[in-house]
Amino acid sequence: MKQIDFSIVLFNDHTNKLQFFTGTDIIMTLIWLMIAIGICLYIKSVNKEKEHYVYFMRNFYFKLLFSFVFAFYYIFFIKGGDTIAFWDASVRLTNLLYETPKYFFIEWGQYRDQPDYINYFTINTGYPPGWIQREAEGYYVSKLTSLINPLTFGSYFANTVIFALFSSLASFKLYDFVVSLGIHNYRKLALYFLFIPSLAFWCSGLSKDSIIMICLYTSIPLLFNLFSSKGKNKILNIVMVLLLMYILSNIRSFMIICLLGPFFFAFNVRILNKYIENSFARRVLNTLILVVGLAFAAVYFGADSAQKYLIEAEITQKDFQNNSLYTGKKYDLGTVEFTPTGMIKAMPLALFTGIYRPFPWEALSPGLILNAVESVILFYLTFIFLMNNRGKRMERIRNTDILTYAVYFVFLMAFMTGFTSIIFGVLVRLRAPLLPFFIMLLTVRPIEEKAISEDESDERINNKKELDSGDLTPSYS
């Protein structure tokens, strides 16, 4: 096939020639665009009776747009970066699959910095970028992507379309689940869960953060479905959750704590609501459960079994601090000791940083402009929350399992990302998945509000029917 040369050619540190706009690339991108649109149209038609599915295609197009913006940003502005390196390494792995399948599968169990590492790559396959191959977590992203390459002929933009498709399905799956609980107006929820620009920018293209978001947002409804006595397909859900957790463990293991930890508190809220009617008794028991949970966490993080997470946090932070490959404006949490006591001391500033920063004057670069705007919006929403019926809002949060889950999810995500990132460019990527949950908490309706519009009343009735049916997951799950 005759190639079209747009002179957009990059080279990695092993001088692999990376081309993005050949004839094959363009054709495969168009083919996968049609396939992705067809899949989305089918899913929407299956769920056409659900009013909130009016946002399904819009969500996909929104993610697709930002995935391409993300790709062009790294190709033309950064002229490289991790997304390009992930794809480059994946192409070399796929070439290895074509050349010697046995070596391809052996490569899944090793990475370059292992003492017994054996190099199977040749000049014919090309060599993965060394800085990706030396990091087990980043290299795993390339390994996953290498499974897609045979379907896309290794086209970077065709892979981008596939990542955007899975990102849009995962975010809508979570949105669909929260809508089914009837705690927010579905139109407002769409803004929080589907149309946050920075979340779409960082978590829709070919990146580590996209895979993490897909795993998190897909797992949460599945786990809640397992807790429901009327939930369906529990065996399949368990298998899917285990698979997604395995992927998370290989990419960013502390995300498993962020995913599972909040369920301890959310499940207890559900039990208390079911068996205890007195609100004061529920509040006392909730407080007791919180104390027990925090005590358990303190014991756990003081034990040898949790030392690997402290070591991982220390390595991650020092890597971002000292590695010359990571550029950009940095922030400082002061002197940090990587012990349970040291982490507790750093917690307030790490939490604040993980949620609200960068401030506008700290985000004077093209990649952070969206986050500067969001920072202002988050401060405004927090002010409204604190000044307008905060007691009644907190009461609703305490008595609603998904909102309780959101509290602890935001807490863990904000702390871990604020504590380890050091660089604002890394911080905004790692913390992006918590934004929908935090905004949902800040905009929750006070518990005494009984008057709802006719549209919301119809929505509540429909949601109640869905809950009574026990199906807490979208029909495409």
Residue 389 DSSP SS3 = coil
What is the model's pTM? 0.85
Q: What is the pLDDT of residue 415?
A: 87
**Amino acid identity for residue 391 in this structure:** G
Q: How far apart are CA 47 and CA 56, in angstroms?
A: 10
Q: What is the pLDDT of residue 451?
A: 35
Low-confidence ranges of the chain (pLDDT < 70): 1-15, 229-231, 275, 278-283, 286, 290-328, 334-340, 342, 367, 447-477
Residue 423 DSSP SS3 = strand
Q: What is the pLDDT of residue 1?
A: 43
Domain boundaries, the chain: 1-119+127-252, 254-446
Q: How many CA atoms lie within 13 A of 235 on its CB side?
A: 0
Q: What is the pLDDT of residue 459?
A: 47
Distance of CA 340 to the CA centre of its chain: 26
Which residue is associated with the tokens 């004061």? Answer: 280
Q: What is the pLDDT of residue 184?
A: 81
Which tens digits make up the pLDDT trace of 254-295?
889 899 988 888 888 877 777 677 666 666 776 777 666 666
Angle, alpha carbons 452-455-461 (nearest 5°): 85
Q: How far lies 469's CA from each of 12, 52, 183, 463, in Å? A: 54, 18, 18, 10
Residue 52 DSSP SS3 = helix
| Cα-only R_g, the chain | 23
